[in-house]
Chain A
Amino acid sequence: MARTGILIETENNGVKDTSLGVLTAAAGQEIYALVLDTDPSAVKDKLAEYGADKIIGIKIGSGSPDLAAHALAAAIKEYDLTALLGTASTEGKDLFARLAALMDQPLVSDCVAVTLDDKIVKKSHFSGKTIANLKVNGSLFLCTIRPNVIEPIAAPANGEILEFTAGVEDPGLVKILEIKKGDGGKIDLTEAPVIVTGGRAIKAAENYKMLEECAAKIGAAVGASRAAVDAGYAPHSMQVGQTGKTVSPKLYIACGVSGAVQHFAGMKTSKVIVAINEDKDAPIFTKCDYGIVGDIFEVIPALTEKL
Chain B
Amino acid sequence: MKICVCLKHVPDTAASIKLAGDTGFEDSEIKFVSNPYDEYGVEEAVSLVEKEGGEVVIVTVGKAGAVTTIRGAMAMGAHRAILVKTDSQFLDSSLTAQALKAAMEQDGLPDMIFTGKGSVDTESFQTQYRLAQSLGMPVVNEVNSLTVDNGKAVVEKEVGGGEKQVMEMSLPCVVGATKGLNEPRYPKFPDIMKAKKKKIQEIDLADLGVDASAGRVVIEKLETVPERSGAKMLQGSVDDQVTELVKILTEDEKVL
Contacts and interface: CB of A to CB of B under 8 A. Distances in A.
Contact of A306 (B16, B123, B242): B242
Contacts of A131: 222-223, 225
Contact of B94 (A106, A132, A289): A106
A191 B161 CA distance: 10
Interface in B204-229: 216-225, 227-228
A123 B123 contact: yes
Contact of A194 (B142, B167, B234, B255): B255
Interface stretch (A24-32, A158-166, A178-186): A178-186
B223 A133 contact: yes
Nearest to A307: B246
A272 B162 contact: no
Contacts of B137: 173
A303 B242 contact: yes
A134 interface: yes
B11 interface: yes
Contacts of B246: 303, 306-307
Interface string B13-25: 1101101000001
Interface stretch (B1-9, B124-132, B195-203): B124-132
A239 interface: yes
Given A194-B255, A261-B14, A186 B161 contact: yes
Contact of B234 (A109, A271, A290): A290
Contacts of B241: 292, 294, 299
Majority SS at the chain A contact face:
mixed
A153 B222 CA distance: 29
B165 A289 contact: no
Interface residues of B, number: 78
A128 B225 contact: yes
B98 to A, nearest CB: 11
B233 A287 contact: no
Given A126-B121, A237-B158, A261-B13, A102 B225 contact: no
A207 interface: no
Given A91-B159, A186-B161, A133 B219 contact: yes
A291 B243 contact: no
B108 interface: no
A130 B25 contact: yes
A32 to B, nearest CB: 23
Contacts of A299: 238, 241-242
Contacts, number: 235
Contacts of B129: 97-98, 100-101
A177 B256 contact: no
Contacts of A180: 163-166
Interface in B239-256: 239, 241-243, 245-246, 248-249, 253, 255-256
A286 B231 CA distance: 6
A301 B219 CA distance: 47
B225 A175 contact: no
Interface of B: 11, 13-14, 16-17, 19, 25, 36-37, 92-94, 120-126, 128-130, 132-134, 137-142, 144, 154, 158-170, 178-180, 216-225, 227-228, 230-234, 238-239, 241-243, 245-246, 248-249, 253, 255-256
Which 4 residue pairs spanning A and B have beta carbons closest together? A182-B162, A173-B138, A291-B231, A101-B133
17 contacts: A97-B129, A108-B217, A124-B225, A127-B123, A132-B221, A175-B168, A177-B166, A179-B163, A187-B161, A194-B256, A243-B36, A243-B37, A275-B231, A290-B232, A290-B248, A302-B238, A305-B242
Given A129-B16, A176-B166, 7 more contacts: A100-B130, A102-B133, A107-B126, A179-B165, A190-B160, A218-B256, A285-B233
